[in-house]
Amino acid sequence: MGTAKDRFKGAAGFISAAEMQDDPQKRTKPGCRSSACGCRPERAADFPDAPTSVTHPPTQRRIVAKRQPGGLLCVRSRHAGTRLFCQLHGLRKFLVEGRRACILLVMPEPRRHHFVPQLLLKGFAKKKSKVWQTHVFDKQDCRAFKASVENVMVAQDFYAMQLDTGVVSLEGFISRIESIAAPILQKLVKAETTAKLSDDDRENLALFVALQLIRGTGHRATFLNVATQFRKALIERGLSPDDIGFTIPDDDRIKLQALQAIATALPLYKEHLQCKDMMVFKAPDGHEFLIGDNPVTLDNHREFGFKGNIGLAVKGIEIYLPLSSHITLGMWATDLRTDIRAIVADVHRKQDALRASAMLGVGPARIAAQNALVGLDDKIADAERLLREVEAGGPVHSHPENMDRFNSMQICYAERYLASASGNFELARKMIDERPDLRTQGARMTVK
């Protein structure tokens, strides 16, 4: 009969630890975690819907695979039914090690790619019969419907592309970033503050937010929009785009640029985000956050003229990412905290002056000072509370009017879809009625 290793060795795709040790090419195969060869998986994709067991028909023996980090399934069995498990579910077998026949299996690379990950969408969904369902709003036709998060904000081969050298896919790379970020996001939603995050947590969180910023449909639409505006600007100035070799990129070129940005620009974006003040915003009772298909939004109350005021390194920038229906992550430029302190100090000085006028003044000046003091204490208290909550990392308690601001940004940035836990899309309908251009596009940059 031979050992388990001998019995399995003839199966297609099987590679023993010894063979990997002898053959450098085999050592690079994904899925191997043998201590003998020391290689690591390169394309272990997260595939949550994969079956984890199968019955071997002749013996009715159940073969069970244990799910491991990174999308790997590990089957420990000497039984020949393990081969059947692999064959029935299209799994590739990479390692048989020792008499235990410890087989590491990696799932085929998934082709349905979420541009908003399910780990975020579940924060805006309810679980029914083992399925996470959310309410979805389609901006194009103002239609609301229910759907599983598996089928929301997803596209075929969104991060894969056929090149001359073969198919290139970033789905596995993106999945690993999501896997690292998942427990951090859970910690934030549960604790409602960033105060408990370690330095590594903040770095990985910044990387995740950077990925969400450039991974979606909005980033690709921006490439096309900027090229279109640039071509128009050339023509308006009497220049011919063809003469200088400028063309509007096609879909494949835009996709390639987007994939290159994910592969190369993430460290730079992460660096800018990591140095921001991080805090958690909490929705008041009776209100909820929405999430769009381009969930990272940028806002700035300052104006800088020709240069614009939106950018990760711009002073006063505010960056937001909804994590659940009641929690949003905020990342602020550090100068904003300084501004709040200065405003509080200035209001205190004005309050002291008004109190003096109200006590010592005469006639209309005294009455005007008394009127100006009405409600000023509450405003100062609100500003001081905001400062304390921001410095503590949250929760920053949002007012109802602030909720409209958060959600309006999601509506403006979304290319097409919004998701909600409750299905309340009245604000979206109202904004689209007032601005019909929101039906067909998200936020756009202006080329000057």
Same domain flag for 266 and 231: yes
Whether 175 is in a domain gets the answer: yes
| Dihedrals phi, psi of 387, to nearest 5 degrees | -60, -45
Calculate helix-pair angle for 376-391, 363-373, nearest 10 degrees. Answer: 40
pLDDT for position 308? 81
Write the single-letter amino acid at 203: E
Mean pLDDT of the chain, nearest integer? 78
Query: Alpha-carbon distance 381 to 187, whole Å?
Result: 29
Same domain flag for 138 and 279: yes
Share of the chain above pLDDT 90, in %: 46
Residue 10 scores a pLDDT above 50: no
Q: Where does 59-124 show beta strands of DSSP type E?
A: 61-64, 66-67, 72-76, 92-95, 102-106, 112-114
Whether 381 is in a domain gets the answer: no
Same domain flag for 95 and 151: no
Write the single-letter amino acid at 77: S
Q: CA end-to-end span of the chain, whole Å?
A: 77
Same domain flag for 10 and 157: no
Whether 170 is in a domain gets the answer: yes
* Structural domain containing residue 32: 4-106
Under 8 Å between Cβ of 297 and 410:
yes
Same domain flag for 331 and 409: yes
Same domain flag for 86 and 190: no
Query: Alpha-carbon distance 95 to 299, whole Å?
Result: 51
Among residues 83, 106, 129, which one ends one of the domains?
Answer: 106
235's CB contacts (< 8 A; 6+ apart) are: 241
Under 8 Å between Cβ of 106 and 91:
yes
Number of domains in the chain: 2
Same domain flag for 152 and 244: yes
Q: Against a cut of 0.85, is the pTM above it?
A: no
pLDDT for position 445? 67
Greater confidence (366 vs 328) lies with 328
Q: How confident is the model at residue 358 (pLDDT cuts 50, 70, 90)?
A: confident
Among residues 39, 71, 106, which one ends one of the domains?
Answer: 106
Same domain flag for 122 and 92: no
Whose CA is closest to 273, among 211, 185, 182? 211
Under 8 Å between Cβ of 175 and 263:
no
Residues β-bridged to residue 137: 144, 418
Among residues 62, 82, 106, which one ends one of the domains?
Answer: 106
Whether 315 is in a domain gets the answer: yes
Write the single-letter amino acid at 84: L
Same domain flag for 267 and 296: yes
pLDDT for position 62? 52
Same domain flag for 99 and 122: no
Same domain flag for 186 and 70: no
Same domain flag for 138 and 99: no
Distances (CA, A) of 406 to 13, 293, 297, 410: 51, 15, 9, 7
Whether 10 is in a domain gets the answer: yes
